[in-house]
Amino acid sequence: MLSFMRRHAKSWLIKIALSAIVVVFIFWGIQSYREEKLVTVAYVDGKPITVKEYREAYRNLVQIYRDQFKENFSEGLIKALNLEQQALNSLIHERLMLWEAKRIGMGVREDELRAKIASYPAFQREGKFDEELYLRVLEANHMTPGNFEEAQRRSILVSKIANFISGFTKVSDEEAFAAYRHQNQRVNLSFVVFRPSMYAKEVQVSDEEVSIYYSKHKEDYRIPPQVRVGYIGLQFEDFEDQVDSAEEKRNQAKQLAFQRIREIYKDLIMTQDLKKVAETFDLSFQETDFFKQNEPPKPFDRKFANAAFSLNKGEISHILELPHGYFVIQVLDKRESHIPDVEAIYREVKEDLINEKSEEKALEHAQEMFKAMVQGRDIHELAEDYNLNVEETGFFKYLNLIPKIGNLQDVKQEAFLLTYKNPYPHKVYKLPQGYLIFQLKEKEDVTEDMFIPQRESFKERLLFQKTQKILEEWLMNLKKEANVKIMTEIPGI
| Cis amide leading into 299 (omega within 30) | yes
How many Cβ atoms from other residues are within 10 Å of residue 480's Cβ? Answer: 8
List pLDDT tens digits, range 283-299.
999 999 999 999 999 99
Indicate the CATH number for domain 2-169+468-486: 1.10.4030.10
Euclidean distance between CA atoms 447 and 451, whole angstroms = 7
Domain locations along the chain:
2-169+468-486, 186-218+343-444, 223-335
pLDDT at 244: 66
At residue 351, φ and ψ (nearest 5 deg) are -65, -40
| CB burial readout 53-68, b (16+ within 10 A) else e | bbbbbbbbbbbbbbee
pLDDT at 331: 97
pLDDT at 205: 96
Instruction: Sort strands 186-194 and 396-397 into parallel, antiparallel or unpaired.
Output: antiparallel
CA dihedral defined by 92, 98, 101, 102, rounded to 10 degrees?
A: -120
Asked whether 458 and 176 are in contact (CB, 8 A), the reply is: yes
Identify the DSSP state of 389. -
**Amino acid letter for position 356:** E
pLDDT at 489: 59
Euclidean distance between CA atoms 491 and 56, whole angstroms = 12
Task: Specify the CATH number for 223-335; select among 3.20.20.70, 3.10.50.40, 3.90.1520.10, 3.40.630.30.
Answer: 3.10.50.40
At residue 194, φ and ψ (nearest 5 deg) are -90, 110
Query: What SS3 state is found at 147?
Result: helix
Alpha helices in 24-144 (DSSP H): 51-69, 75-80, 83-103, 110-118, 131-140
pLDDT at 31: 38
Please list, in sequence order, all residues whose beta carbon lies within 8 angstroms of the beta carbon of residue 415, skipping any fewer than 6 positions away: 187, 189, 402, 425, 438, 440
Give the CB-side neighbour count of residue 220, counting CA atoms within 13 A: 11
Q: Which residues of the chain have pLDDT under 50?
A: 1-37, 491-493
Euclidean distance between CA atoms 183 and 177, whole angstroms = 10
CA dihedral defined by 342, 344, 346, 347, rounded to 10 degrees?
A: -160
Euclidean distance between CA atoms 424 and 191, whole angstroms = 11
Alpha helices in 104-172 (DSSP H): 110-118, 131-140, 145-166
Whole-prediction pTM: 0.60
Asked whether 189 and 438 are in contact (CB, 8 A), the reply is: yes
Identify the DSSP state of 493. -
pLDDT at 311: 96
At residue 63, φ and ψ (nearest 5 deg) are -65, -35
